[in-house]
Structure 1
Amino acid sequence: MRALDRLDPSHRADLARLLPWQGLLLGALLLCWWLPVPQALQGLGSYAPLHALLETLSIIVSALIFSLAWGSRLGQVPANVCVLACAFAGVALLDFSHLLSYSGMPDYVTPAGPEKAIDFWLGARLMAVLGLLWMVALPWQAPLPRARRRALLVAVLLCVGLVHWVVLVHPELLPRTFIAGQGLTPLKIRMEYLLVAMLLGTALLLLWRMRGPTPFHAAALLGAVLGMAMSELFFTLYASVTDVLNLAGHVYKVIAYLFLHRAVFMEAVQRPYMELEQVRQQLQATLATVPDLVFEMDAQGRYLSYHSPPSELLAAPAGDFIGRLVSEVLPAEAAATVMQTMAQALAQGSAGGQRITLDLPVGRRHFELHATRCQQEPGQAPRLIVLSRDITLAVNARDALLEAAQHTQAILDNVVDGIITIDRQGLVLSVNRSASAIFGYEADEVIGRNIKMLMPAPYAQAHDGYLASYARTGIRQVIGRDRDVEVEGLRKNGEQFPMSLAVNEIEREGERVYIGMVRDITQRRAAAAEIQRLAFFDQLTELPNRRLLLDRLQRAVLSAARRGQLGALLFIDLDEFKLLNDTWGHDFGDRMLVQVAHRLSDSVREGDTVARLGGDEFVIMLESLGDTREAAASHAEMVARKILAGFEQSFRLQEREQHTTPSIGITLFGDNLLGAGELMAHADTAMYQAKSQGKNTFRFYDAELQAVLATRAALESELRQAIARQQLQLHFQPQVDDSGQLLGAEALLRWQHPDRGLVAPGVFIPVAEQCGFVLELGSWVLDAACRTLASWATLPGCQALNLSVNVSALQLRDPQFVTDVLKTIQRHGADPRRLTLELTESLLAENVEDTIAKMQALRDAGVGFSLDDFGTGYSSLNYLRRLPLEELKIDRSFVNDMLGDPNSAVIARTVVALGQTFGLQVIAEGVETPEQRDALLRIGCKRFQGYLFGRPTDQASFERQARQGVAVAS
């Protein structure tokens, strides 16, 4: 019983009824096995008619199994049932041949005999066992297409034909199963035991499948499998084919087939009828609960039957209209609508949606019709199922709602604000007249479309995502806020306009609906902007006025102090403007002020502030000019000079050209605690100082800083004349290898000033970069270097020397850089292979592709490249791999610190390793001590430059040392 508990409850009752019968059959088997056969029964086994009767019964049952299984379920045969049907079609044929081959039967192609009958027997049993095993193993109720069913049947028939061909034509191909006088052969007995084992395995598999519900009568199928197993056991016990045990085996086989027939009968016949009865009962129950009127009618409109309970909605009692035409029962208009619905259903299979109105004893009722054509046999008159649904409540509610909606819409159309309702997907449900006027769309152009059509980017792109996010999380951005939000709207003509928007959420008929109230605030925005302009901007020039300037200046002072970036305030006053006003009139002066405002605005960056204080006084506020006073002052000076240059061009006023000049006072802010008022006073003081110095100039409030700027301006002026006065010269610092052999030199620019003496590059190079003179200096250095290389080519000891020249960022960005270098080399006849251009890592931070292209063009011409100060800047390994370099330079800062700083030593070692990896020469600069040189040698660096091997010296001294073949002495 515990084993039964593991099976699905649907099988337990059937198994409980099966077990007694199986126990009875098993008991009879054991009795036949243990007890001797009575003398009176021993002759039954040789009674051929009895054998023929039993075999005929089994053949009939097999044929019934085939016919029932093959034609079950209106041809929708499950795969496992189809397998069983085809297998037992073959079993029936093989059992028939077994019957005709039995001893005592007439010749069946060849003489009858025990071995021939056994061969057909074993073929039939094997096919039956395989069919049952296959059936149990297949998925229950898996459909099998008609073509595959037929292919399976053909395969079975071919197997049957093959068995007949072997047994009847070539029996010598088969092993012996029976020997006269000896009985069954061991092979035959083993075959029977094999069949028993396969059947028991099938039974176990079936029991495992019965742990779940099955659509098949699994208990009867189990009885058949066990019965066939017991039948096969009998065929291992008899001594001759006429033995009574042989006869008992045939009886058990018939019983097993009857069990199988019951299982198939349940599947093919009883179960479909049971299911049909369940469907009928369900249909009756469904119809009993349907509140609609359901009629069965013929094509002429005659009522055949009535199937629904609400009789109070009938136009007449059911007994009065059954058998009558619809035109005899309903008013003419309603009857015509019913006939129209039925005609449409006859043509299309179904129809619905038409409505009729009837005056019944319970009052006026509205009905909606639906009709469906019933399936019919050929030649049968068509019938229809007509459903009449009472929609009176819905119609009355709709009419009431429509009346209320019309009333509400009339109110909404007279509201000044636009009102739009949308659903959860953002589709417009309604708009009032004001919304149509605001956006320029008629209502039917908007309703049913997404609200995004009324929004410009980026609101349109974000709207659907916002709605979905709100529905998912409930986080509000616009919906249900306490105050309106201001957004942009989009009119039909493409015009964008500002609007205020308030959105609220309601629930209507179980669905969320969003109501938006829209107001065009274009005029309000314009009025606010006008108020803002009048309050904070000068009406004549439209520049910020004193009030706005002071506000911005106060915030700029705080920002500068917080970020450590200094700014500047420029106070500008026009020279002799009062005379111009008195001479030509105020209108002429106003035109002058407007043009001055434009020129001042053109002289500054976009984020800077240009303001007019009144009269001819203007103020410019510059922010983020640098973190030192020198840098900030330099930038402020550049702007002041740009303004002065801009005033050199005359102003054209009323067909008249007029010149004017500005006086500019400058003060810096950000590194002091001065307020806006004090800064304005300092700039004003500096402006008057500029006027006292002759006008048309600028002055700083800080006298010390003014002196520094004056010195730098003088230095810039003298630097621009240095080339013409031949004050520039190149010095050369030697570069050597690990044996002290001179390899070449780095060309270093020096300025020999007649009064200042030797000016250091750290002093004049920044000045050149700020004033834009660095291109001329770079061109002069390159020209002098190529001239030197050309002269070295004729000097003993100098022909093999290389010369390195530094290149600035401005030079490399020049589009003519490659052309100018090649022309310079060609002009002097220098060997480009002896020229090396040194680049710093910072040059690689911008426009890398253009830099690589220019380097490659020069590299193709023979010019070499060295990466200076490597390890201090930007380079990535990717760019290092792509750059056409020959040499890396270890920066002097790492060389100086590598003996005491492990990090610097690691960086130096890494640079050397990278050079070796990429096949580049590595040279260390700034080598000043033997200890530094030895440390560099230990990590693999074999080229050096520094005071240990020689200080930079003039060309003549360097060439003298080079002819001696040694480095310049330190």
Structure 2
Amino acid sequence: MQVLDRLDRSHRADLRQLLPRIGLLLAVLVVCWVLPVPPALRGLASHAPLHALLETLSIVVAGLIFSLAWGSRLAQVPGNVCVLACAFAGVGLLDFSHLLSYAGMPDYVTPSGPEKAIDFWLAARFLASLALLWMVAAPWQSALERRSRHALLLGVAALVALVHWAVLLHPTILPRTFVAGQGLTPLKIASEYLLVGLLVLTALLLLRRMREPTPFNASALLGAVLCMAMSELFFTLYASVTDVLNLAGHVYKVIGYLFLHRAVFMEAVQRPYTELEQVKEQLQATLTTVPDLVFEVDADGRYLSYHSPPSDLLAAAPEYFIGRLVTEVLPPEAAATVMLTLGEALEHGSSSGRRIVLDLPVGRHHFALHATRCQQEAGENPRLIVLSRNITQEVSAREALLDAAQQTQAILDNVIDGIITIDRQGNVKTFNRSASKIFGYEASEVLGRNVKMLMPPPYADEHDGYLAHYARTGVRQVIGRGREVEGRRKSGEVFPMSLAVNEIEREGERIYIGMVRDITQRRAAEAEIQRLAFFDQLTDLPNRRLLLDRLDRAVLSAARRSQLGALLFIDLDEFKLLNDTWGHDFGDRVLVQVARRLSGSVREGDTVARLGGDEFVIMLESLGQTREEAAAHAEMVARKILLSFEQPFQLLEREQHSSPSIGITLFGDNLLSAGELMAHADTAMYQAKAQGKNTFRFFDAELQAVLAGRAALEADLRQSISRRQLLLHFQPQVDAQGRVLGAEALLRWQHPQRGLVPPGAFIPEAEQCGFVLELGQWVLDTACRTLAAWARHPHCSGLDLSVNVSALQLRDAHFVDDVLDTLRRHGADPRRLKLELTESLLAENVEDTIAKMSQLRAAGVGFSLDDFGTGYSSLNYLRRLPLEELKIDRSFVNDMLGDPNGAVIARTIVALGQTFGLQVIAEGVETPEQRDALLKMGCRRFQGFLFGRPVDQASFERLPQSLAAIPS
């Protein structure tokens, strides 16, 4: 049922009938295959008349398939069906020769026998299978031309003749297909399986096409393909030509031909008649629903038939008109108009646009005439179809509209809004007095010209596009929607205006009416109200009201997006003294410059506000998902502000120094209101003043302590190289036998007070402050020095050394030169150095990464992709990167035994490595069970506590060359 659900609805009913039949045939096939043949049936297949009967049936059906398509109106038979029909003409001929060549039949040119019959059989089956495959796979073609059809039939005939030439006259050139006493040869069986494969492929392609409606009977065609495939399966099983399975195969072949005959019959015979009947019904339904009077008349104006129902609009009953002339039925003036219409239609094929007026029992009515000349055979009298449409209501409405037009024009000339009408091309049709006052043009200067002359860019450029899009799709982008745009006066001045556009239809033409109002004064008033309500008049910064509104929305947004923000409360130190000393005017000038410096210290989307006096607030959004990350960004902004205040303020040829005290609080991970956040930032600001001013403080004491600790860690880290506190530890990497192949260099920091600091505690800090470049160079120096020393060591000269590379190192423009220079300085072999990259490095600037890796790879340096499967890499990158090795991440190794998904991922990584010719090494191997599972997957390299923990250089060099003594 799931298969049916994926197919188009048009196929489901036929398939529901087909599937039980196919299932029954398949069940019979399985029974014949599995169960032994009853003794009573064993001789049945050797009965030549029975074989002849089945073959005759198949030949007859093949002939019917050809005759159905060829004998139908070939101009309407699709090209695919024509190809199939010609192919089955050849199939029928080959089946006939197969019948005459069957064992027990009289000699057919040469002595009959199994192998001769099989040769004709295979030729027929391959021709049928390929024709079916072509019909399903090829694009659906319209009918073939006569020359193409005959060429196709001749081609099939030539192919059939070639097969007869080979089988009857030169059989020795053909391979053996049957050996007496042994049965079918491998070639014969392989050919049958190939036929089955072709037919199964055809069925799959057919099912794929059935996801959409098809121009042929797909269900019957599918039944034919499946039956023929089952038939070929029988012919792979029998041991002799008299085997009952041979007989079953012939029966299934006949059934398949019958399915195919049904498909061709539906396409060549039934479908055209069905379509003709549908067209007839549609035409009748159309005539029934037409509200107009429709007559059929001859060239003299004699009524021949009447086709439409509204007979109440006739001067008499419809039967009265039939056989009479137009001049006998209609008044002279109306009859003359009708005859002119008929004459024009006879000459030009059609005529429309004329009107007549008739006084009917139901009153005076207006009719619009349209006449069309019918197609006629040679010698046949011309006939015409006349459609008479009642337009009385339209005429009455138009007259009423004309009466109201004068009144409307008077109103339009006195409204305060400009009213402009344009046609579908955008040309101005009317331009009232108010429009002239607004734009400065007289009506005579605008009428007939494109309305774009009243618009500045980009509105002028977009206008034609709006009209074209509406005319093409009917989608309203402007019509019926009031909006505010810009206009252009005759003087060139651009001004704001409100615009509303609607459409009407007048005399069959669409007219667009635009109402325009100059809103220059309103905009100015609104802008002033907005400025006074939400902005500080001195600095033009947002005031307290706007800040609180933005802060409320920022708090909600931060909670929703899990992105923290920060609020900085800034108060100028000793500002009251400055005001008292130099006056408020001087102080105001300082505040203006302070506002500029604060605005220059933040991002474009951040908010800088003035609360009043010397108090400012900065709101920062989207600073990170953790408090530490957000605090670090806020701290950076605070330091930038303090740095900007180090420069004196230049006022009235006087330099004035000023400093800020800054209080900081974070928001987004709590439920504090805007007022509470302001109070916290204010409290932190007073803490900053208490600490000596010209500094900043966080409201959160714990966070302040964390930031102080990070600053101390950064200071110690920057001195770690000069104080010789860094060292490398080495963890062995082994093969499947436990032999040490190399090691991974792991950075350690031995601090005199902190002890041995783990890499996870200082590497992120080094990356954030940029010190990771110096650390990376130190690691590379030490690793190359170690490789040079190992080259002279008897047990270590053949070992590789892996070094981790950070994203900042790889992005450095001098990375390649630094690596090569370091190798040369220490005399280390580049082939023993392996640089480990993590997948996250591939997230951006991939082309630059590949270029740098390729340069180093050309020099002999190897690359390993660490933590594979956890990051951003794709198979495309894996193919392009010059890698030697993939590392299975320890998380997959840990989950491998308990989580089937982990095992699948590990197995997939091993398979990818083998596919791309890469070594695969698993890290984090801690148990023999993990090692054994990886070995079964094909992984041959390992790293982890099972083989050794990271140790210093001296301890590593004392390790045995083989760690095969690991417990198993």
TM superposition score category, shorter chain reference: 0.5 to 0.7
Give the structure 1 partner of residue 423 of structure 2.
423
Give the structure 2 partner of residue 773 of structure 1.
771
Look up the equivalent residue of 2:883 and give its one-letter code: L
Give the structure 2 partner of residue 621 of structure 1.
619
Distance 1:460 1:913, change over 3 A: farther
Q: Separation in 2 of the partners of 1:545 and 1:965? A: 74
Q: Retained in 1: the 8 A contact 2:326–2:335?
A: no
Look up the equivalent residue of 2:922 and give its one-letter code: A
Question: How many angstroms does 1:968 deviate by?
Answer: 12
Q: Separation in 1 of the partners of 2:631 and 2:502? A: 57
Q: Retained in 1: the 8 A contact 2:731–2:950?
A: yes
SS in structure 1 of the partner of residue 537 of structure 2 = coil
Superposed CA RMSD: 3.8
Query: Of 589, 603, 619, which aligns to 1:605?
Result: 603
Q: Retained in 2: the 8 A contact 1:888–1:915?
A: yes
Q: Retained in 2: the 8 A contact 1:667–1:700?
A: yes
Distance 1:276 1:531, change over 3 A: closer
Distance 1:622 1:429, change over 3 A: same
Q: Separation in 1 of the partners of 2:669 and 2:817? A: 47
Alignment of 1:110-509 (within 5 A): 412=412, 415-435=415-435, 438-439=438-439, 446-451=446-451, 454-455=454-455, 478-480=478-480, 484-489=482-487, 497-509=495-507
Q: Return the TM-score normalized by structure 2.
A: 0.56
Mean CA deviation greater in 710-719 or 900-909:
710-719
Give the structure 1 partner of residue 939 of structure 2.
941
Q: Is 1:810 matched with 2:808?
A: yes
Q: Separation in 2 of the partners of 1:636 and 1:846? A: 26
Q: Separation in 2 of the partners of 1:588 and 1:694? A: 25
Mean CA deviation greater in 602-611 or 469-478:
469-478
Question: How many angstroms does 1:908 deviate by?
Answer: 0.4
Give the structure 2 partner of residue 595 of structure 1.
593
Q: Is 1:711 matched with 2:706?
A: no
Structure 2 residue runs of 5 or longer lacking an equivalent are 1-297, 303-323, 341-397
Q: Retained in 1: the 8 A contact 2:920–2:939?
A: yes
Q: Is 1:760 matched with 2:754?
A: no
Larger of the two Rg values belongs to structure: 1
Q: Separation in 2 of the partners of 1:938 and 1:843? A: 31
Q: Separation in 2 of the partners of 1:639 and 1:558? A: 23
Q: Separation in 1 of the partners of 2:574 and 2:698? A: 21
After superposition, what is the alpha-carbon deviation per residue over 1:390-449, rounded to whole angstroms, capped at 9, x for unaligned?
xxxxxxxx9x99999899778756654322102244433223354356456665665445
Q: Separation in 2 of the partners of 1:823 and 1:489? A: 67
After superposition, what is the alpha-carbon deviation per residue over 1:213-232, rounded to whole angstroms, capped at 9, x for unaligned?
xxxxxxxxxxxxxxxxxxxx
After superposition, what is the alpha-carbon deviation per residue over 1:849-903, rounded to whole angstroms, capped at 9, x for unaligned?
2222222222222222111110011111111111111111110000011011000
Distance 1:802 1:673, change over 3 A: same
Distance 1:495 1:721, change over 3 A: farther
Distance 1:968 1:671, change over 3 A: farther
Distance 1:669 1:464, change over 3 A: same
Give the structure 2 partner of residue 928 of structure 1.
926
Distance 1:457 1:796, change over 3 A: farther
After superposition, what is the alpha-carbon deviation per residue over 1:354-378, rounded to whole angstroms, capped at 9, x for unaligned?
xxxxxxxxxxxxxxxxxxxxxxxxx
Distance 1:485 1:761, change over 3 A: same
Q: Retained in 2: the 8 A contact 1:751–1:758?
A: yes
SS in structure 1 of the partner of residue 595 of structure 2 = helix
Question: How many angstroms does 1:490 deviate by?
Answer: 5.3
Look up the equivalent residue of 2:950 and give its one-letter code: P
Q: Separation in 1 of the partners of 2:453 and 2:499? A: 16
Query: Of 668, 671, 677, which aligns to 2:675?
Result: 677
Give the structure 2 partner of residue 698 of structure 1.
696
Q: Separation in 2 of the partners of 1:822 and 1:440? A: 75
Q: Separation in 2 of the partners of 1:440 and 1:723? A: 78
Percent identity, please. Answer: 81
Q: Retained in 1: the 8 A contact 2:420–2:514?
A: yes
Give the structure 2 partner of residue 792 of structure 1.
790
Look up the equivalent residue of 2:951 and give its one-letter code: T
Q: Separation in 1 of the partners of 2:611 and 2:720? A: 44
Q: Separation in 2 of the partners of 1:830 and 1:453? A: 76
Give the structure 2 partner of residue 67 of structure 1.
none
Question: How many angstroms does 1:546 deviate by?
Answer: 0.8
Distance 1:493 1:861, change over 3 A: farther
Q: Retained in 2: the 8 A contact 1:734–1:967?
A: no
Give the structure 1 partner of residue 564 of structure 2.
566
Give the structure 2 partner of residue 849 of structure 1.
847
Q: Separation in 2 of the partners of 1:450 and 1:282? A: 51
Question: How many angstroms does 1:570 deviate by?
Answer: 0.9
Give the structure 2 partner of residue 876 of structure 1.
874
Give the structure 1 partner of residue 355 of structure 2.
none
Distance 1:816 1:511, change over 3 A: same
Q: Retained in 2: the 8 A contact 1:951–1:968?
A: no
After superposition, what is the alpha-carbon deviation per residue over 1:633-671, rounded to whole angstroms, capped at 9, x for unaligned?
222222222222222333333333332221111112222
Question: How many angstroms does 1:707 deviate by?
Answer: 1.3
SS in structure 2 of the partner of residue 683 of structure 1 = helix
Q: Retained in 1: the 8 A contact 2:300–2:325?
A: no
Q: Retained in 2: the 8 A contact 1:736–1:967?
A: no
Q: Separation in 2 of the partners of 1:521 and 1:513? A: 25
Give the total of aligned pairs.
594
Look up the equivalent residue of 2:705 and give its one-letter code: A
Look up the equivalent residue of 1:876 and give its one-letter code: S
Query: Of 545, 548, 555, which aligns to 1:547?
Result: 545
Give the structure 2 partner of residue 530 of structure 1.
528
Q: Retained in 2: the 8 A contact 1:742–1:967?
A: no
Distance 1:497 1:878, change over 3 A: farther
Q: Separation in 1 of the partners of 2:905 and 2:450? A: 62
Give the structure 2 partner of residue 960 of structure 1.
958
Give the structure 1 partner of residue 85 of structure 2.
none
Give the structure 2 partner of residue 735 of structure 1.
733
Q: Separation in 1 of the partners of 2:904 and 2:401? A: 85
Question: How many angstroms does 1:461 deviate by?
Answer: 6.6
Question: How many angstroms does 1:289 deviate by?
Answer: 5.2
Q: Separation in 1 of the partners of 2:440 and 2:875? A: 60
Give the structure 2 partner of residue 215 of structure 1.
none
Look up the equivalent residue of 2:611 and give its one-letter code: L
Q: Retained in 2: the 8 A contact 1:419–1:517?
A: yes
Q: Separation in 2 of the partners of 1:492 and 1:960? A: 94
Look up the equivalent residue of 1:427 and give its one-letter code: N
Give the structure 2 partner of residue 662 of structure 1.
660
Q: Retained in 2: the 8 A contact 1:832–1:863?
A: yes
Q: Separation in 2 of the partners of 1:784 and 1:495? A: 72
Q: Separation in 1 of the partners of 2:433 and 2:620? A: 52
Distance 1:949 1:814, change over 3 A: same
Look up the equivalent residue of 1:961 and give its one-letter code: L
Q: Retained in 2: the 8 A contact 1:651–1:658?
A: yes
SS in structure 1 of the partner of residue 954 of structure 2 = helix
Distance 1:531 1:277, change over 3 A: closer
Q: Separation in 2 of the partners of 1:849 and 1:437? A: 62
Q: Separation in 2 of the partners of 1:853 and 1:456? A: 49
Give the structure 2 partner of residue 835 of structure 1.
833
Q: Separation in 2 of the partners of 1:967 and 1:829? A: 32
Give the structure 2 partner of residue 688 of structure 1.
686
Distance 1:929 1:528, change over 3 A: same
Q: Separation in 2 of the partners of 1:965 and 1:661? A: 67
